[in-house]
Amino acid sequence: MQSKFSRLASIALAAALSVGAVSAIAQVTVGGAPMLPTKDIIDNAVNSKDHTTLVAAVKAAGLVDTLKGPGPFTVFAPTNAAFAALPAGTVDTLLKPENKAMLTGILTYHVVPGKVDAKSLMKMIDDGKGTASLKTVAGGTLTAKTSGGKVMVTDEKGGSATVTIADVYQSNGVIHVVDKVLLPK
């Protein structure tokens, strides 16, 4: 049973994220660039200085057309710093043509079908008594919960990422910027 304090904290966080979502629609800046809700995931991501590694990886994996498609998609988008935190040489190895399948698996593990904005995610966490399971396009599962007033997303290996910018609305979905690369089993 969820404590009264925990329930109130969840409601307060959902309300704050909902208010943030309204302002996000008006204007969100990611990586120094405005993210326009009239553009698709790729057209916005290419303008973010914080997501150049992600964009290069999406191109190498051949996922550009998919993420420009109608969706909707929810993308947990790791920053350049998240990729840089991987063991030395990992990104270079993943970008090699012979590792395209592995790269595709990792990238699609960051994508959830449908549009799961912060309000929806908070409801899922609340309905799940503190956690929400999200099935990824890659077929794996991400687990979302709140901790210290922030949304945390945990991968199947136990790695955890924090949502640093929520509700970056796109014409074909929503992006939540995360500070770690999530890894499937």
Instruction: Report pLDDT digits (tens) over 98-120.
Output: 999 999 999 999 999 999 999 99
CATH for 29: 2.30.180.10
Confidence at residue 7, expressed as pLDDT on a 0 to 100 scale? 45
> What's the pTM?
0.83
Confidence at residue 23, expressed as pLDDT on a 0 to 100 scale? 41
- Mean pLDDT calculated for residue range 127-150: 96
- Mean pLDDT calculated for residue range 123-137: 96
183 within domain boundaries: no
167 within domain boundaries: yes
As a residue count, the chain comes to 185
Instruction: Report pLDDT digits (tens) over 59-86.
Output: 999 999 999 999 999 999 999 999 999 9
Confidence at residue 31, expressed as pLDDT on a 0 to 100 scale? 81
13 within domain boundaries: yes
18 within domain boundaries: yes
185 within domain boundaries: no
41 within domain boundaries: yes
Structure tokens given for 96: 């090699």
69 within domain boundaries: yes
User: Is residue 4 very low, low, confident or very high in pLDDT (cuts 50, 70, 90)?
Assistant: very low
24 within domain boundaries: yes
What are the distances in angstroms from CA 111 to CA 65, 89, 94, 114? 14, 24, 18, 9
Half-sphere exposure of 104 (CA within 13 A, CB side): 11
| Domain assignment of residue 108, given as a range | 4-178
If one counts the domains in the chain, the total is 1
